[in-house]
Structures are given as structure tokens and as C-alpha cells.
């Protein structure tokens, strides 16, 4: 084993005997661009709605619920797809979330929420994960579209304006504190308090 490592170390530290420096640097650059492009394209592919709703777990449960909400249909036709709310937009946090999401692949393989009953059983826990994530990043995915600085309180209902201009303004609360269950149905939250 040590011999093998030594042999490889020798090969990569020795100057190339066959290929020109130009080929190696330029080729390496092009290969890097191609690899990076392919990686990013594949990553973006996993951010599409078609990908998310490719699994019946998502298509039959949460996607159905989303379709009745204002985040799916509204007067102006701007809409949020799964990844807009569930995947951070910045690269580092996105990669971190994607690595976390490998647990979901595990869940898919072992059918953790393969039936409606299993899904409902687990829904509270799954929702709590997502709430905790939103709470921790100050509702970043909400704020990607809903910018506090651009909110016109005079266009809001008096009740909403008062809440936003106090609790949201002084950062005592973040979006998710009040706006739970706006894109999907809520589980029995009373059960969460018991735990």
C-alpha cells in the first residue's frame, strides 16, 4: 500500500516526459471548465420541480398542497418552485444543504415516507427540521424574494403592517415564526409542544 502511494507520488511530482506544458495547462483548464459546467448543470437539475416531483412522496403529498396556495397560483403569475424555498441560493450554503439532503436519498431507498400514512406519521418531525432551518438562517429563503426594505406597509392590511413594523423590524421575530404552513398543510402542532 505504502509502495503504491510512493509510486504515484513519484509519477505526479516528476515533470511530464511526453506532454508539453502548454497542453497540460491549457488541457487542464478546459477539462476544469467542462467538469465544473457539468457539475453545476447536474446540481441545477436536482433543483428543478420535475426532479423534486419525480418521487411520488413529493408529488402526491407536499406538491399537491402547494398547488392550492398563493405561492403556486396568483394574479401576477410569479411563483415559487420547491428549491426556491428549500434550497439556499448561495453556493456554499447550497452545497451544505445538498450534502444534508443525501439523507433524503437514504429515506427514499428505505421508503421512510413511502406511504401516505408513513408520511403523516413523520410529517411533524420533517416540518420541525425545516422550521429550525428557517429560524437559524433568519428565513433566508423567504427574504430572497420578500425584501423587508421593499415592503410598503401602507399597502398591507393594518394588522400585517403593525406586526411587520414592530416584530419583524426589531428582529424579534423572523418570517417563519408567524408564517408556518403557508405553502403546505400544517401537522398537529400541539403534539410538538408535548415533546
Give the distance from CA 79 to its chain's centroid: 16
Give whichever of 147 and 172 is closer to other proteins, judged by the CB atom: 172
Least CB distance to other proteins at residue 187 (A): 6
Give whichever of 70 and 95 is closer to other proteins, judged by the CB atom: 70
Distance CA 114, CA 110 (A): 8
Give the CB-side neighbour count of residue 29, counting CA atoms within 13 A.
5
Residues 6+ apart with CB under 8 A from 114: 57
Least CB distance to other proteins at residue 107 (A): 22
Give whichever of 79 and 94 is closer to other proteins, judged by the CB atom: 79
Least CB distance to other proteins at residue 160 (A): 9
Least CB distance to other proteins at residue 174 (A): 15
Sign of the alpha-carbon dihedral angle for 65, 69, 71, 72: positive
Distance CA 176, CA 156 (A): 18
List residues binding other proteins (CB under 8 A).
68-70, 157-159, 162, 181-182, 185-189
Give whichever of 140 and 182 is closer to other proteins, judged by the CB atom: 182
Amino acid at each position: 500500500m505504502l509502495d503504491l502511494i510512493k509510486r504515484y507520488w513519484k509519477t505526479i511530482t516528476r515533470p511530464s516526459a511526453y506532454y508539453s506544458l502548454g497542453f497540460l495547462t491549457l488541457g487542464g483548464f478546459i477539462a476544469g471548465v467542462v467538469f465544473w459546467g457539468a457539475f453545476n448543470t447536474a446540481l441545477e437539475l436536482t433543483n428543478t420541480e420535475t426532479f423534486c416531483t419525480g418521487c411520488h412522496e413529493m408529488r402526491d403529498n407536499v406538491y399537491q398542497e402547494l398547488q392550492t396556495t398563493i405561492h403556486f397560483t396568483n394574479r401576477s403569475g410569479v411563483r415559487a418552485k420547491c428549491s426556491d424555498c428549500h434550497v439556499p441560493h448561495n453556493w456554499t450554503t447550497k452545497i451544505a444543504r445538498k450534502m444534508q439532503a443525501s439523507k433524503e436519498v437514504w429515506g427514499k431507498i428505505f421508503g421512510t415516507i413511502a406511504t401516505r400514512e408513513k408520511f403523516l406519521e413523520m410529517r411533524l418531525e420533517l416540518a420541525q427540521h425545516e422550521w429550525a432551518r428557517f429560524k437559524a438562517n433568519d428565513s433566508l429563503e423567504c427574504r430572497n424574494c420578500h425584501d423587508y426594505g421593499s415592503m410598503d406597509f401602507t399597502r398591507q392590511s393594518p394588522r400585517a403592517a403593525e406586526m411587520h413594523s414592530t416584530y419583524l423590524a426589531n428582529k424579534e421575530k423572523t418570517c417563519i415564526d408567524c408564517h408556518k404552513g403557508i405553502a403546505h398543510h400544517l401537522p398537529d402542532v400541539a403534539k410538538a409542544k408535548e415533546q
